[in-house]
């Protein structure tokens, strides 16, 4: 019997053993109901569970399908990417090689094979880096030991460093190397052929340190090498610095053109190189300045010999554009360590000596001596003051009368330039004009003289002219004729009242430009006058080369006339020649009555000198003229 | 220890042998809410056992030996030779205060010679997990804590607890056993089998479950219960407890049963926490497995019976109302199975509860269980 029924029977049995059947049936019925209900619940929940699991399964299947599709798409995308990657890899201009964490070759591109001349089978994935480098070595595209190189790369990679270097291949190509560690512990190496870049860089570096024209070291390289040489120098083994300047370079450049000038510089630089030892340095500082650094000098004589040798070889003519040109070199010499313990000091001192050499004449060499610096400094001081003199209004013009012998009237005043240098008093042109010419200041100063003199003359009586001295440099200036014309116009002075005085040296240069300018000035109506006539070597021939309106006989002939017949004869010949050519002559520097009588008797037409007046300040001219006119009136 | 049975019937009143003895230290009683509620019941007991602590609660049925009775209050009067007991009570005004209530009770009972705690709690307005956590924390994790939530049949309307005072709802009472001679051993068993897919708890608030797999939890239950059982909610939900697992720590698995439902919010309130991120799986029981598990729980107390007892022994059985609802007439099988597993002289007393408190089957840590049976044996040695 089922134990539940057993229990139910027990529960329904009365104390007397009588069975309460009604209660029993109720209990049994309830038990049946409960069992049925439990079965229904079980059925239902199992059914639902199956449904749920089924749905879950469908969802999972759908998910699997979805993922499978996505996976296939990714595979296809990966394949496309691989193709693109391959294309990119094999069309790189660089070589690319990838290694894994065990230094085994993983990937390499086509350029790698081309760059290092690998043959089929040389490279295989899985090869160790030292095998790859050994293969390169076999193909002759590796310098050095492959194993050592592999070791050094591995050491750097294991330190996690990205590094770059440049390798030179045995055939001379330069290859830039970049090693970048990967996250997986391996690395990627790229090689790029940088041969051209390296060559260009070398060229640029060379250009930065060499003179493009002559190929000699330039100032930059010179200073470097000079410092090296100086630091190795001692009293027993000195360094001599020869600072060299071509005396005639400017003239050649001006007359034959820049191309000839350049050829001269090239020729000279070649000769300097020939005169020196390999251990010496020859450099071009710029322009016509060269430097020789002579090392290991035991005695001054060795340097002197070199200077003479250099000077001598430069004097031998060079053929340039059909001209035989010989150069004169001025050389200034200083020694390290005695004259300077660094490059710039030594250069400066050699420059001082050079200045001295140039001051002493052409084609000379000078060693640095005590006091040279002081003189140079004095010159520099003058130069500095001169540069500001014009704007500070420190110049003035004095006017010295030129008197006609025929009627005693004043025909002209010569404008004489004076410089009121602060603290130094009034300075005559001989003391500063050469310097002004040298440093180019003569152009603005000359312009000022011209304008000032024209303005002054415009206020004088119409028959009184003004004479103005010209520097050859002014004449060579382009536009000088226009400047004269403008000055006349601005002052309102008739051109024939302006007499421009030039010295023989202007014609000495025999320059077409100068002659053209003189002719143009003459066409303008300006008179051209030859100053200091007779001091040159071929004064007479110059008279033929240009139609001068006037000549001014140099004062030395007047002074010497007192001392002998020869001078009188020359003076007489000059005056006679001028008369024949119908050129007005001015006797300059006449101080005494005897001199006046002489030049009058010789047939000179005008007199200038202290006998009439020294130079007058501008505001003294009117007074002087009035007194002179009065005196003439009384005399007549 | 001496154990005297006592009972109360509406018709006969108390049957209480050995009444008036001042030696009785503790009276435990379980009964129908309506029978136990009047203050007269406590007053009667107090006059019967003037020196005893009195602890009891309403139930979903009382267990006495192999019997399950609904119309009697069943109880025991315990007299100890060398053991003392102490009763503590504390209100649980709101489920959110549950942990603090547990701490208060635990602190009141804590002591060097405390051996075990048997706790009876308000059965509806409480978060049993929090209560046990607070209590166990206060007395120390080595002290076994057993007992259960009060029951209310399948009404889920109101539960009451007596603890040295007339029965009232919203309180927790507990008795602590002290001394070197008392043995207090317990074991837990469920016997439910999970079925169907695992579902994620996607929304919850403490012990209120809102959503499983992003859908209202109540809808899932409605589907499984079917027309026939929906009307019986929340009681019928007891047929399908949930196996709740910590996804990170699979040992952390507990069975949770429904206490209440909210049709408007489509939520279900469980007897313990339903943490978001844990998984929940429906469970179902079969008569045989449930009955067998009761035997397993009873056998789990056998280590406590190694020594020869001095005097009587008692086994306190707290089983889930859900088990009774499922098994119906067959429920006696579980009580008999427990009886068969215990020594014949062990007296058995217990009740059907809204939640069981006892050791976790694996960790041994005191916890709130659902759909389980807890067997606690007490004797002196």
Which CATH number characterizes residue A143's domain?
3.30.450.20
Residues B165 and B198 in one domain: no
pLDDT at B337: 94
Among the partner-chain residues A31, A42, A48, the one whose CB lies closest to the CB of B223 is A48
Q: How far apart are CA A355 and CA A331, in angstroms?
A: 9
pLDDT at B376: 97
pLDDT at A253: 77
Closest CA to A353 of A376, A336, A337: A376
Span A160-176, pLDDT tens digits: 888 898 889 999 999 99
Residues A592 and A449 in one domain: yes
Residues A272 and A355 in one domain: yes
Give the chain A residue nearest B225 (alpha carbons).
A41
* 3 state DSSP class of B164: coil
C-beta atoms surrounding B4 within 10 Å: 19
Spell out which residues of chain A touch residue B333, defining contact as CB-CB under 8 Å: 3
pLDDT at B116: 97
Residues A102 and A82 in one domain: no
Residues A16 and A122 in one domain: no
Residues A75 and A105 in one domain: no
The model's pTM is 0.48
Tokens of A313: 């070889």
Residue A392 CA, chain-centre distance (Å), reads: 33
Residue B204 CA, chain-centre distance (Å), reads: 24
Residues B167 and B144 in one domain: yes
- Look at the block and give the residue holding tokens 């075990």: B116
Last residue of a domain, one of B284, B307, B331: B284
Spell out which residues of chain A touch residue B197, defining contact as CB-CB under 8 Å: 52-53, 56
Residues B197 and B55 in one domain: no
Domain interval for residue A39: 3-87
Residues A497 and A615 in one domain: yes
Spell out which residues of chain A touch residue B195, defining contact as CB-CB under 8 Å: 45, 49
Is residue A635 scored above 60 in pLDDT?
A: no
Residues B119 and B222 in one domain: no
Residues A477 and A618 in one domain: yes
User: DSSP code of B309?
Assistant: P
Q: Please, are residues B193 and B285 in contact by the beta-carbon 8 Å criterion? A: yes
In a domain? residue A49? yes
pLDDT at A109: 92
pLDDT at A511: 66
Q: Please judge whether B329 and A4 are an interchain contact, meaning their C-beta atoms are less than 8 angstroms apart.
A: yes
Q: Please judge whether A7 and B228 are an interchain contact, meaning their C-beta atoms are less than 8 angstroms apart.
A: no
Q: How confident is the model at residue A510 (pLDDT cuts 50, 70, 90)?
A: low
Residues B228 and B168 in one domain: no
Domain interval for residue B242: 193-284
Residues A130 and A156 in one domain: yes
Contacts of A207 (CB under 8 A, 6+ apart): none
Nearest-CA distance from B328 to chain A in Å?
A: 7
In a domain? residue A205? no
pLDDT at A160: 83
Q: How far apart are CA B122 and CA B58, in angstroms?
A: 9
Name the strand (E) or helix (H) holding B187.
Answer: strand B182-189
Span B272-295, pLDDT tens digits: 789 998 999 888 888 888 999 999
ipTM score assigned to the predicted complex: 0.72
CATH of the domain at A509: 3.20.20.450
Q: Please, are residues B53 and B27 in contact by the beta-carbon 8 Å criterion? A: yes
Q: Which value, to the nearest 10 degrees, does the dihedral of the CA atoms of residues B299, B300, B304, B307 take?
A: 40
Residues B161 and B67 in one domain: yes
Is residue A424 scored above 90 in pLDDT?
A: no
CATH of the domain at A348: 3.30.70.270
pLDDT at A573: 85
To the nearest whole percent, how much of chain B has pLDDT over 90?
66
Is residue A429 scored above 60 in pLDDT?
A: yes
Residues B212 and B357 in one domain: no
Q: How far apart are CA B261 and CA A20, in angstroms?
A: 41
Contacts of A70 (CB under 8 A, 6+ apart): none
Interchain contact B14–A (C-beta under 8 A): no
Last residue of a domain, one of A32, A61, A87: A87
Last residue of a domain, one of A53, A87, A121: A87
pLDDT at A138: 93
Q: How far apart are CA B33 and CA B123, in angstroms?
A: 12
Residues A365 and A248 in one domain: yes
- Mean pLDDT of all residues in chain A? 88
Residues B173 and B255 in one domain: no
Q: Please judge whether A45 and B224 are an interchain contact, meaning their C-beta atoms are less than 8 angstroms apart.
A: yes
pLDDT at A563: 73
Tokens of B367: 């916890």
Tokens of B122: 């308000």
Q: How far apart are CA A130 and CA A111, in angstroms?
A: 20
pLDDT at B234: 78
Residues A255 and A181 in one domain: no
Interchain contact A8–B (C-beta under 8 A): yes
Residues A55 and A159 in one domain: no
Name the strand (E) or helix (H) holding A261.
Answer: helix A258-275
In a domain? residue A395? no
Q: How far apart are CA B273 and CA B3, in angstroms?
A: 37
For A103-116, what is the mean pLDDT? 93
Spell out which residues of chain B touch residue A53, defining contact as CB-CB under 8 Å: 196-197
Is residue A376 scored above 90 in pLDDT?
A: no
- Mean pLDDT of all residues in chain B? 91
Name the strand (E) or helix (H) holding A203.
Answer: helix A195-209
Spell out which residues of chain A touch residue B214, defining contact as CB-CB under 8 Å: none
Is residue B124 scored above 80 in pLDDT?
A: yes
Residues B207 and B334 in one domain: no
Q: Please, are residues B217 and B211 in contact by the beta-carbon 8 Å criterion? A: yes
Peptide bond just before B234 cis, omega within 30 deg = yes
- Look at the block and give the residue holding tokens 């010209």: A470
For A31-57, what is the mean pLDDT? 86
Residues B248 and B374 in one domain: no
Specify the number of domains making up chain B.
Answer: 2
pLDDT at A536: 64
Interchain contact B240–A (C-beta under 8 A): yes
Interchain contact A56–B (C-beta under 8 A): yes
Specify the number of domains making up chain A.
Answer: 4
Q: Please judge whether B284 and A30 are an interchain contact, meaning their C-beta atoms are less than 8 angstroms apart.
A: no
Closest CA to A274 of A330, A221, A208, A318: A318
pLDDT at B200: 92
For A63-91, what is the mean pLDDT? 92
**Least confident range of A37-41, A112-116, B56-60:** A37-41
Last residue of a domain, one of A87, A115, A140: A87
Interchain contact A30–B (C-beta under 8 A): yes
For B223-242, what is the mean pLDDT? 80
Residues B144 and B277 in one domain: no
Is residue A537 scored above 70 in pLDDT?
A: no
Residues B9 and B89 in one domain: yes
Residue A325 CA, chain-centre distance (Å), reads: 29
Last residue of a domain, one of B258, B284, B310: B284
Interchain contact B229–A (C-beta under 8 A): yes
Is residue A236 scored above 60 in pLDDT?
A: yes
Residues A78 and A100 in one domain: no
In a domain? residue A30? yes
Interface of B with A in 321-360 (CB under 8 A): 326, 328-330, 332-333
For A393-422, what is the mean pLDDT? 93
Q: Please judge whether B330 and A49 are an interchain contact, meaning their C-beta atoms are less than 8 angstroms apart.
A: no
Spell out which residues of chain B touch residue A3, defining contact as CB-CB under 8 Å: 333
């Amino acid at each position: 019997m089922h134990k539940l029924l057993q229990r139910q029977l027990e529960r329904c049995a009365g104390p007397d053993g009588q069975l309460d059947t009604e209660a029993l049936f109720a209990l049994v019925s309830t038990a049946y109901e409960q069992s049925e209900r439990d079965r229904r619940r079980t059925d239902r929940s199992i059914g639902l569970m199956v449904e749920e699991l089924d749905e879950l399964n469908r969802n999972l299947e759908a998910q699997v399908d979805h993922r499978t599709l996505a996976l296939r798409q990714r595979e296809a995308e990966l394949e496309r990417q691989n193709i693109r990657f391959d294309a990119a890899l094999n069309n790189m201009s660089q070589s690319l090689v990838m290694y894994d964490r065990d230094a085994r070759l993983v990937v390499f591109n086509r350029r790698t094979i081309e760059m290092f001349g690998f043959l089929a089978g040389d490279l295989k994935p899985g090869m160790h880096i030292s095998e790859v480098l050994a293969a390169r070595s076999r193909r002759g595209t590796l310098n050095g030991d492959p194993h050592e190189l592999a070791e050094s790369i591995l050491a750097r990679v294991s330190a996690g460093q990205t590094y770059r270097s440049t390798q030179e291949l045995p055939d001379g190509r330069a290859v830039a190397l970049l090693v970048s560690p990967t996250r997986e512990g391996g690395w990627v190496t790229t090689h790029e052929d940088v041969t051209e870049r390296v060559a260009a860089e070398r060229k640029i570096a060379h250009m930065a340190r060499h003179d493009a024209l002559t190929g000699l070291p330039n100032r930059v390289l010179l200073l470097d090498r000079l410092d090296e040489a100086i630091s190795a120098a001692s009293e027993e083994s000195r360094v001599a610095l020869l600072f060299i300047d071509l005396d005639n370079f400017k003239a050649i450049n001006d007359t034959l053109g820049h191309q000839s000038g350049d050829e001269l510089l090239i020729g000279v630089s070649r000769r300097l190189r020939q005169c020196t030892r390999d251990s010496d340095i020859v450099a071009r500082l710029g322009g016509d300045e060269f430097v020789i650094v002579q090392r290991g000098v035991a005695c001054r004589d060795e340097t002197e010999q070199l200077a003479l040798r250099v000077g001598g070889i430069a004097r031998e003519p060079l053929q340039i554009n059909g001209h035989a040109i010989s150069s004169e070199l001025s050389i200034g010499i200083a020694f390290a360590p005695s004259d300077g313990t660094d490059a710039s000091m030594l250069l400066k001192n050699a420059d001082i000596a050079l200045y001295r050499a140039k001051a002493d004449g052409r084609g000379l060499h000078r060693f640095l001596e005590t006091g040279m610096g002081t003189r140079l400094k004095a010159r520099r001081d003058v130069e500095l003051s001169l540069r500001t003199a014009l704007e500070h209004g420190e110049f003035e013009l004095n006017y010295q009368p030129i008197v006609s012998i025929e009627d005693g009237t004043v025909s002209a005043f010569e404008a004489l330039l004076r410089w009121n240098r602060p603290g130094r008093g009034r300075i005559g042109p001989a003391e500063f004009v050469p310097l002004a010419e040298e440093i180019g200041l003569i152009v603005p100063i000359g312009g000022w003289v011209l304008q000032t003199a024209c303005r002054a003359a415009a206020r004088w009586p119409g028959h009184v002219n003004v004479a103005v001295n010209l520097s050859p440099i002014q004449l060579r200036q382009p536009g000088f004729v226009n400047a004269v014309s403008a000055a006349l116009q601005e002052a309102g002075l008739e051109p024939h009242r302006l007499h421009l005085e030039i010295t023989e040296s202007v014609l000495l240069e025999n320059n077409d430009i100068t002659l053209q300018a003189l002719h143009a000035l003459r066409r303008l109506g300006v008179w051209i006058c030859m100053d200091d006539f007779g001091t040159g070597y071929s004064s007479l021939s110059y008279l033929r080369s240009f139609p001068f309106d006037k000549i001014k006989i140099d004062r030395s002939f007047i002074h010497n006339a007192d001392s002998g017949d020869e001078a009188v004869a020359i003076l007489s010949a000059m005056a006679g020649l001028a008369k024949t050519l119908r050129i007005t002559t001015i006797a300059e520097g006449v101080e005494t009555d005897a001199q006046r009588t002489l030049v009058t008797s010789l047939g000179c037409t005008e007199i200038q000198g202290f006998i009439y007046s020294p130079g007058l300040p501008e505001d003294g001219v009117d007074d002087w003229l009035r007194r002179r006119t009065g005196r003439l009136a009384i005399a007549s | 220890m001496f154990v005297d049975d006592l009972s109360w019937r509406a018709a006969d009143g108390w049957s209480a042998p050995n009444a008036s003895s001042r030696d009785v230290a503790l009276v435990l009683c379980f009964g129908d809410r309506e029978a136990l509620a009047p203050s007269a019941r406590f007053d009667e007991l107090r006059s019967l056992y003037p020196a005893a602590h009195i602890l009891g609660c309403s139930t979903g049925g009382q267990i006495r030996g192999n019997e399950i009775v609904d119309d009697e209050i069943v109880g025991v009067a315990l007299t100890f030779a060398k053991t003392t007991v102490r009763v503590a009570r504390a209100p649980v005004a709101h489920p959110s205060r549950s942990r603090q209530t547990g701490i208060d009770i635990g602190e009141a009972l804590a002591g060097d010679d405390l051996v075990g705690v048997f706790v009876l709690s308000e059965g509806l307005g409480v978060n049993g997990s929090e209560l046990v956590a607070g209590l166990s924390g206060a007395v120390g994790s080595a002290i076994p804590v057993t007992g259960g939530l009060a029951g209310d049949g399948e009404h889920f309307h109101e539960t009451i607890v007596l603890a040295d005072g007339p029965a009232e709802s919203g309180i927790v009472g507990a008795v602590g056993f002290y001394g070197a001679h008392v043995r207090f051993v317990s074991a837990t068993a469920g016997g439910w089998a999970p079925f169907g897919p695992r579902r994620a708890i996607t929304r919850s608030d403490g012990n209120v479950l809102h959503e499983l797999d992003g859908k209202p939890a109540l809808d899932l239950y409605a589907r499984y219960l079917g027309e026939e059982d929906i009307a019986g909610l929340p009681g019928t939900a007891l047929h399908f407890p949930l196996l709740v697992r910590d996804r990170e720590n699979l040992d952390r698995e507990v069975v949770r049963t429904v206490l209440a439902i909210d049709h408007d919010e489509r939520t279900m309130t469980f007897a313990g926490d339903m943490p978001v991120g844990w998984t929940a799986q429906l469970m179902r029981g079969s008569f045989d497995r449930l009955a067998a598990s009761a035997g397993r729980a009873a056998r789990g107390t056998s280590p406590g019976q190694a020594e020869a007892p001095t005097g009587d022994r008692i086994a306190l059985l707290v089983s889930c109302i859900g088990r009774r609802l499922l098994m119906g007439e067959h429920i006696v099988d579980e009580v008999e199975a427990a009886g068969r597993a215990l020594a014949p002289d062990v007296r058995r007393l217990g009740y059907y509860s809204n939640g069981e408190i006892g050791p976790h089957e694996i960790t041994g840590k005191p916890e709130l269980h659902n759909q389980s049976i807890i067997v606690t044996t007490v004797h002196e040695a």
